[in-house]
Structures are given as C-alpha cells and as structure tokens.
Amino acid sequence: MASGKELVMNALRFREVERVPWVPFTGVHVARLVDMDAESFLKDSDAIVKGVVAAAERYRADGVCSVFDLQVEAEVLGCSLKWARKNPPAVVGHVLENGGDINSLPEFTKDKGRIPLCLEATKKIVSEIGNTTAVFALICGPFTLAMHLAGSSFLTGMIENPDYAKELLAYCSGISMKMSEWYLETGAHAVAVVDPMTSQISPRHFKRFVTPTIEPLVNAVHERGGIITLFCCGNATKNIELMMQCRPDGIAFDEQVDLAMVAGLADKYNVCFEGNMALTTTLLFGSPEECVKEAAERIAIGGKRGYILSPGCDLPFDTPFYNLEAVGNYVQDGVVPEKNSGFLSLEEALKQCADSEEEDDDVKTEDGKIFIEIVTLDSEGCAPCQYMVESVRSVEPLFNGRIIWRETLIKSLSGIRRTQKLGVSTLPTMLINNEVVFDNIVPTKEELCAEINKRLK
C-alpha cells in the first residue's frame, strides 16, 4: 500500500489511487490537541508543530495543513488584527481603506511579522512527518489579501476605479508568489492558495480581476517544480470552472458546491478536487456514524482518480475529536461506528435545542426601523462572513439608529435551527426584515444603502 503522502501526491497529479486520501483542514482546531487557545497557538512555532503532528497521527491523516491563518501577509503589510480564542485573527484595520498609495506599504520580506514562525513550523512538520504525510503550506490568495488591505470599499473600487483595483491585485499576486517560494523552500509538498472572497464576485469579475492574478502565480509555482491548489469557500459554484481554467493542480471548495458537478469538470480539465464534508451539521454536531456516512457518500461520488476527501473548510475549533477519528478509521480501514454507541445524532441534538427553547426568534421592529440579520459560519474566522458583517457596520451610522442587526452563527445548534426556519441554504446570507436580500455576495455600500432605503421608504 502506498503511503498517505504518495496517495495525496498521486491524487494531485490526477492519477488513479488505491484508496481515496484523507486531508482534514484542521486549522486552529489542533490548538485543542495541545490545550491552547487560537491566539497563543498561532504565535508559537513549537505548538504549531506539536498540534499538527498530533492531528496527523490521531486522525490518521494522509495530508495536513501547516499553518491555517490568512492574515499573516496582511499583518506584515500594516493591517491591524483582532485576535480570538477559537478562531484565527480577523483584519480590522485596513491600511489602504478608501484608496491609498500602494508604494507606501512596508517592504515584504521573509524576516517580518510571523512569517519566520510559519516557515520554521512548516519546515519542522515536513522534517517530522513529511516522509509519509503530505504537507500543504497555506497562503492568502491575492483577491482576499486585496480585501484585507483595502477593506470592503475594494468591491466598489473594482467598478469605480478598476485600474487601481488591478494594480493592487497585481501587487498582491506578487506577495503570494513570494510566500509560495518561501514555503517551497521549507520542503512543503504543495502550496494551497486560499482565496475565499472570490466566491463573492461574478464570473465576469472573476475573469477580469482574479484570473490575471492567479495564472502567473500558478505558473510561478510550476516553474519551480511545485504543486499548487486553489481553495475558495462559500458558494463558489459559478466560478469553479474558471478556477480550473487557471490550471492549478487541484481545487478545494465547501459543502455549498455540488461534488458531482465538480467531478465532471475535474475529468474535463484533469484537475484534482478536494472536499467537501459539512463543517457544522456533520463534523461539529453530527455523530461518528453520521460523519462516516457522509464520508462514504463523498468518496463514492469523488472516486479514486483525482479526489481527496476533506472538510469543506478549516474545522471549527470545537469539532469533536471522536468524529475526526471515526472518519480517519473509516478511510484507512473501512471501520464503521456501531449504531446506538451513545452519541447524539444531529436530529436528536436539534430536538434537545428546541426543547430547551434556546432559539433565536424574529426581531420585532418599530415603524421607521428595519432588522438586518447576517447568517454566517462565524465572522471572526470566515472572510466572506467578516466582510458582510463589516458592510452593515459601515452603513449603520448613516441611518441614525434606524437599523437593528445581529449575526446568526451556524456554529451553534440554535443557529442551525434558525437557518432552517429562515430557509437559508448558503453562507453568508443577509436578510432584511426576514427577507433574503444578499445571498452569498457581499454588497457594496451603495447597494446596501439602496436596499435599506427601499424598506425605510
């Protein structure tokens, strides 16, 4: 039997494999394995190594991610971060907000910020388990980095000042090239370009703004003999084929994308595809039996050529160890958990939540006011979710107390019940007075103000 690393690398080369490889995107979840919070973990190279190696062993992973933090580059370039106990940090200070001189940004070198820490950790992980386990090095994609630097105004800027947007994206692509080069020097087996904000734009804008930044990056990695994958969370269905046309070795996507559809495109372009087990409804709140059932369904659809079983995105911090162990044991040995093993199913857990009346209700508003609800995975750790919440915060002062708003997270049982009640199926989604208005797309300031004014009359 081939090693886990060999299975992953063959899948990335779109070759037939003996069994489907398993790569859990463990992210800051592995901090739990070393009894740390996310902030302390992401600032400690030795802890990162210990946590990732422990996850590889405990979850019987064929591949692992070294550091899952998409804010490292933005922090070096002058953006301020807000840290959290159970999520990676979020960018809260956009250094180029409302337009700014790109040439004024600090020089981006490998000795700044937490870059040395990330490179050191990756090198040590490769040294400890890289002979048998594939190691993915994650970098922030150009479009998401541009959003980090310029804030949500970047979306408006693509329309009002496209030349500046293209200049900033070209700069961000150069940053991604540097990061990929430095990570390949550590011995990482693949570079994963994580660009979640690209799910928030149309195919027309993807071709105009994203493709010209990704293609040179893909070529640069290939010229160095490296392997590169692209990852986009959210409902990226409309842009999946465009991602493949950039000719990466693989793409990854979350549960909102139909796996069978992607399998068909993968055959067309010979591009590996990774995904896309449900983060919350299965891995976080499901039972081991439900996790294995979904893993089996994904494997049956993905097949043994060019498919890697993974979660839809980086795992929630509190994902139960036993669920990930169950998936690993099933993938490696075909072990199926016994029924009635004492674990609650999702249905049972949701019923308990309903019985306890822990549920978010509709908000009653007075005349002349509106209620905005943003349904997210978690704006602390999900970039599209963060920028949708940020869009509401940015216009709130313009309406002098006439906006009541809240964020509903599906990382809670009450949040899942609320989304079921609202009929929301994609994330992030914004509702105004309980009506879906922006579905998996972050609105510009002008678009959001227009929808609010329409309802305030």
Torsion of CA 336, 342, 345, 351, to 10 degrees: 170
Stretch 445-451: mean pLDDT: 92
Q: Domain locations in the chain?
A: 4-333, 370-456
Residues 198, 201, 207, 208: is their CA dihedral positive or negative? negative
- Give the mean pLDDT of the chain: 93
CATH code of 4-333, in short, is: 3.20.20.210
pTM above 0.85, yes or no: yes
CB-based contacts of 143, cutoff 8 Å, min separation 6: 169, 172, 195, 197, 198, 201, 209, 210, 213
Dump pLDDT digits (tens) for 408-426: 988 888 888 888 888 888 8
> Which residue's structure tokens are 């590889």?
56
Please state, as a whole number, how many other Cβ atoms lie within 10 Å of the Cβ of residue 297: 12
From CA 132, how far away is CA 31, in angstroms rounded? Answer: 22
From CA 149, how far away is CA 196, in angstroms rounded? Answer: 15
Residues 125/135, Cβ–Cβ less than 8 Å: yes
Stretch 326-343: mean pLDDT: 86
Judge if 4-333 and 370-456 fold alike in CATH terms: no
- Local confidence band at 328 (pLDDT 50, 70, 90 cut-offs): very high
CATH class of this structure's domain 370-456: alpha beta
Q: Which of 382 and 29 is assigned the larger pLDDT? A: 29
Q: Judge whether residue 343 has pLDDT over 90.
A: no
Dump pLDDT digits (tens) for 98-117: 778 999 999 999 999 999 99
Dump pLDDT digits (tens) for 136-163: 999 999 999 999 999 988 988 898 899 9
| pLDDT score recorded for residue 241 | 98
| pLDDT score recorded for residue 79 | 97
